[in-house]
Amino acid sequence: MNRYRIKPDSKVNLDEFDPDDTGDYGSSDQDRAKAEVRTKALLDKLKTLQERLYAGGSHALLIVLQAMDTGGKDSTIKQVMSGVNPQGCRVTSFKVPIPIELAHDFLWRIHREVPAKREIGIFNRSHYEDVLVTRVHGMISDKLAEKRFSQINDFERLLIRNGVTILKLFLHISKEEQRARLEARVRNPEKRWKFNPGDLEERKLWPKYMAAYEDALAATSTTHAPWYVVPANRKWYRNLVVATLVVEALEDMRLKRPPEPPGVDFDTLKIK
């Protein structure tokens, strides 16, 4: 997965990341089937690792999902996290800040939603909206954006020092793929409710969004909380990459089963 990882202090050019990439797989139905088998195996492993995370109670995993409209955040959550125990997993979707949130620093509402130890937390959009949307629409200056980049890095370092592993994923689709998905959304009566005419206005700002993402990824991909640019045009490969990264993040915690209760001989224990 290192091919998708943004190295610290590196310049980012999203044109160098192919949204159609399928890694070591091709694009045939056979390749897709092989990838889906591998994904299924990873999701089975994820169930075991989540149980150990919850039982251990000493770590947490925060998954940050960012993408352009139709980028697949909801679908990724549905597909990759489908088998985890809801008791230990929580999804937070950040909308436009309300007055009480605007009265505090921009990270205040974020910190409240950070997963507790033993939990997997998923941010569907995140604190990065405050250096992306706000910047594209001229709500903050470039100078303030740079200040916020530094504050985000400090904030994430604080979380990591307190047992939270952070996995940051930018689901990368092409502008052409976004058009196809928007059109499919309008054509499908079951999906039409998700269509927002405002998405078309945001689409016109695509170059500005790409530039803002490049700056944000370059400034906030650190050794302790790196960014991954996930090829997301092909949903089956996106799922494989995300599942791989989630499993690797949990494995890196070296989670172990909690010790058995003291003073209990399981060989002679009889339960009536």
Lookup: tokens for 217:
């990824």
Residue type, 51: E
- Indicate the domain borders of the chain: 2-23+54-251
**Full pLDDT tens readout for the chain, 272 residues:** 899 999 999 999 999 999 999 999 998 999 999 999 999 999 999 999 999 999 999 999 999 999 999 999 999 999 999 889 999 999 999 999 999 999 999 999 999 999 999 999 999 999 999 999 999 999 999 999 999 999 999 999 999 999 999 999 999 999 999 999 999 999 999 888 888 888 899 999 999 999 999 999 999 999 999 999 999 999 999 999 999 999 999 999 999 887 777 767 666 677 77
Tokens of 242: 């995300």
Amino acid at 213: Y
> What ranges in 14-98 are assigned the alpha helix state H?
29-56, 73-80
Locus of tokens 């976004």: 178
Query: In the CATH hierarchy, which fold is given to the domain comprising 2-23+54-251?
Result: Rossmann fold (3.40.50)
For residue 70, the number of C-alpha atoms closer than 13 Å in the C-beta half-sphere is 28
C-alpha pair distances (Å), 79 with each of 74, 86, 129, 243, 268: 9, 14, 24, 9, 44
Residues with Cβ within 8 Å of residue 122, at least 6 apart in sequence = 62, 63, 65, 77, 81, 89, 90, 91, 92
Backbone phi, psi, residue 66, to 5°: -125, 145
Cα gap 50→229, rounded to integer Å: 24
C-alpha pair distances (Å), 81 with each of 41, 45, 47, 207, 247? 13, 12, 9, 31, 11
pTM for this entry: 0.94
Tokens at 206, concatenated: 């695509």
Contact 38, 90 (CB under 8 A): no
